[in-house]
A and B are shown apart, each in its own frame.
Chain A
Amino acid sequence: MLLLCAAVRSPAMSLEARTDPGPDGVTLDVRTDAPPAQAVLRTLDSGMRAEIIFTIQVYRHPEGLIRLLGDRLVQEIRITREARWDAFGEQYVVSSSLGPEVRTRSIDEFVRRFFGISNFVLPWSFLRADGNQGGSPSYMMVRLQVRPMKLVSALAILSFLHMEQEISSAWARIPIPDGVNTNGANADGAAGN
């Protein structure tokens, strides 16, 4: 098992990412050691929603003269999660653009589930979407953006006036480990939670 870690400090959040190559792809774990949990919990307690977006970008070092233009963005995926407090069920609800809805009454579990990615599998076909199976090394950039109070549709247009409440981490650079299965995986998409 190859374990790779990358940590980036940002004024608001530290981001820690871990990759683990497997036959189907690279399993990604991302967490932050200083999540703005209190701000999010306050929002949920007052009956509003919070939002978090994980952006994962895959880059490749081009070969030849074209490398002077810089690294090439091969793939990008955004995972959006929304959290709310279910006053009837008395539990936290985390819904995601990828994966099923999670309900929990534990604050710790909610914080872990909402602010982190665990066992998120990026298939080899996704990471090598440009067809460069054995080319120059590539890497991922991961960023996390938190909006403690997600504005409702009617007010979402005003989000740019409310940007001071948005918290972003810096981009974390994570090398993509050499694959166990370099022929590419059969999986068609990312999976995990």
Chain B
Amino acid sequence: MRIRRTASTSLTSLISLVLLYMLLIGLVLVFSNEILMDLTFSHSFSSVLVIVVGVLFPVALTVTIVLNIARLIRDKTTGRPGVRFKLRLLLFFFFIVMLSSVPQGILSINFIGSATNLWFSGRTGTALRSAQNIALQYYHEKTANLQDFAGSAVLRTLFQDLSRSPRRVWDGIRTIHPSIDSMQVFGPTGQDIYFVGQPATRLTYSQIQGNKPGEVVKDSTGALSFVRVIVAQPRQGSEQYLVVLSEVLPAGFDRGATEITKSLETFQQLDQMQSVFLVGVILFYGFFSLPLLLLSILVSFFLSDEIIRPIVQLEEATRRVADGDFSYRILSRRGDDLSLLVRSFNQMVSELERSRYKLLQTEKVAAWQEIAQQLAHEIKNPLTPIKLSAERILRKYQQLGSEEREEFGRILEVSVRAIVTEVDGLSNLLGEFRDFSRMPEPQPQPVNVAQAVQETVATYGSISGVTFHHEYLDPQLSAMADPSQLRQVLSNLFKNAIDAMNGTGEVFVRADLVKKGNSLYCRIQVQDTGPGIDPEFHDKVFNPYFTTKKHGTGLGLAIVERIVFDHRGQIWFETEQGLGTTFFIDLPTG
């Protein structure tokens, strides 16, 4: 069993969240003008954006954090290793984040509060109102003077010369009211008859059509502002001249008045919304800082997971190995900080597994060797006297006369020959036992695999009904093995295959170079087309004395396994009912 890492998934999710947040903040910045101008009436993309960043995103993050906290509580309840460490890490991260953000937030809000109090103090308001009042007073004084002059008897007297000499009228006006900057006279039909003074104040007749005589109107052309009044001067009958007297306002008056009005508006709004403003500043701060705070908590969850995961995995793996599961391995990403530790652990477990296997195998072989020796000894000893006695009886019988022999012989000869045959069989069997128990140490040397296969196949060439396929063996491929023992391995496997196929079928032999870890192996495969091995016998195939054949000794595959093991190799098989069996042997390369 192998542990699959889930950290990469978490990392991907976290990076996606951070990227999403960055994208949203980027969009907020792009649309900041629209957002700052109007939020409630716009119903536009910017409003949706603000809702997503300000509400949905923090809600999603909060839900994720709550789920993580629930998982942490569950882990703590179940006593999962590393929880206390994780909890401490989380609290530490949280403390650090709060330590940096809370004072900054409080200071920022206090600073903004103090600054607005300072900038928009009552004194500022009084100053702005006073400035506006002064400007208004000045303006009203100007308009009132102009209006009074327009209705004065002096002006009416001056206008008596208007048709004869407008210039003289203008000179008189300037003498009495020097602040008047221009005079324009329109005829009864609206024709522009005369103009004198500041050129920028010159108007068209359509511009004054809506104004009543005597009414002071403020006007502007470009950067110049002026007040003007229309005076109607009767001519003949119902006809009249319209005289426009204009007085230019000081440069910048209009702009200054507008600025004062706007500043006063801002001041009054801020004054009215001072309490709301502070709440707004807090919300504004929270708008950016809350998602970051939540993200940092989420990051702390992820980091603590990252840190304790290998520890938890090691703990679990150690427990599994202690329980006897030597197949357990920990997977780690390439380049992971803890991959070296994980690799060392996995190597240690592999070594343990190998040593344990070797120990078991050695114990097994030793036990069977002892049994075999004992068995051979116990059976061999009585066999010789039995055989000698049978042969002696046979000889005595042969010395008898023909009549005696005829009667007794029919039974005796058959029986004695049977005894001798069986004793020979037993003797051969015991010989194999002895060979098994006294198998010599292998003397490995580079052996050409193709050649060894060919030689072994040749000894089975006379068996009709069985076809060997070994044409595609690499002639250069060699294994580090004892030549005679390798041939015995191949011979046993071929014999096993022929027996499995009841003497009819095909045997496929192939050999390849494979890499396992940092080592190269020669992998030999022997495949038959027999009925396959019954699943109930799978774990007994290599046991000594286990056989499904009527006359088998059950030592063939046990010897193969022993030889392969002695060569620091590995053997296993794959089988499928009705299709056949393939034996795999990995031997060190030559």
Residues on A lying within 8 angstroms of B by beta carbon are 46-49, 51, 53, 87-89, 145, 147, 149, 151-163, 166
Contacts and interface: CB of A to CB of B under 8 A. Distances in A.
A151 B40 CA distance: 12
Contacts, number: 70
Contact of A88 (B36, B40, B218, B270): B218
Of all A-B residue pairs in the complex, the 7 with the closest CB atoms, nearest first, are: A158-B280, A159-B40, A152-B266, A161-B276, A48-B265, A157-B36, A88-B139
Given A48-B269, A89-B218, A161-B279, A153 B41 contact: no
B276 A159 contact: no
A157 B266 contact: no
B264 interface: yes
Nearest to A88: B139
Given A87-B261, A152-B265, A158 B276 contact: yes
B132 interface: yes
22 contacts: A47-B132, A47-B261, A47-B265, A48-B268, A48-B269, A87-B132, A87-B136, A87-B261, A89-B218, A152-B262, A153-B36, A154-B36, A155-B270, A155-B277, A156-B37, A157-B35, A158-B276, A158-B280, A160-B39, A161-B279, A162-B276, A166-B41
Contacts of A157: 35-36, 39, 280, 284
Name the prevailing secondary structure of the B interface residues: helix
Given A88-B218, A161-B276, A162-B273, A153 B261 contact: no
Contacts of A155: 266, 269-270, 273, 277, 280
Contacts of B70: none
Interface string B30-45: 0000011111110000
A153 B37 contact: yes
A162 to B, nearest CB: 6
Contacts of A156: 36-39
A157 B150 CA distance: 49
Interface in B261-296: 261-262, 264-266, 268-270, 272-273, 276-277, 279-280, 283-284
Contacts of A158: 273, 276-277, 280
B133 to A, nearest CB: 10
B257 interface: yes
Given A88-B139, A156-B38, A157-B284, A49 B257 contact: no
A154 B38 CA distance: 10
Contacts of A151: 269, 273
Interface in B24-76: 35-41
A40 B280 CA distance: 24
B323 to A, nearest CB: 61
Interface residues of B, number: 30
Interface in B1-44: 35-41
B140 to A, nearest CB: 9
Nearest to A85: B261
A147 B280 contact: no
Contacts of A48: 265, 268-269
Contact of A160 (B40, B261, B264): B40
From B132, B280, B284, residue with most partner A Cβ within 10 Å: B280
A161 B265 contact: no
B218 A46 contact: no
A88 B142 CA distance: 11
B482 to A, nearest CB: 83
A151 B268 CA distance: 10
B268 A46 contact: yes
Contacts of A47: 132, 261, 264-265, 268
Given A47-B268, A151-B269, 12 more contacts: A46-B268, A48-B269, A51-B41, A87-B132, A88-B136, A153-B37, A155-B280, A158-B276, A159-B40, A160-B40, A161-B280, A162-B276
Contacts of B37: 153, 156
A173 B135 CA distance: 48
From B217, B218, B265, B270, residue with most partner A Cβ within 10 Å: B265
A158 to B, nearest CB: 4
A152 B269 CA distance: 8
Contacts of B266: 152, 154-155
A143 to B, nearest CB: 11
Contacts of B132: 47, 87
Contacts of A87: 132, 136, 261
A166 B41 CA distance: 9
B257 to A, nearest CB: 6
Interface string B98-142: 000000000000000000000000000000000010011001000
A68 B257 CA distance: 58
Nearest to A87: B136
Contacts of A46: 268
Contacts of B276: 158, 161-162
A156 B50 CA distance: 14
Given A48-B269, A151-B269, A166 B40 contact: yes
From B41, B135, B218, B277, residue with most partner A Cβ within 10 Å: B41
Contacts of A88: 135-136, 139, 218, 257
B259 to A, nearest CB: 13
A180 B262 CA distance: 48
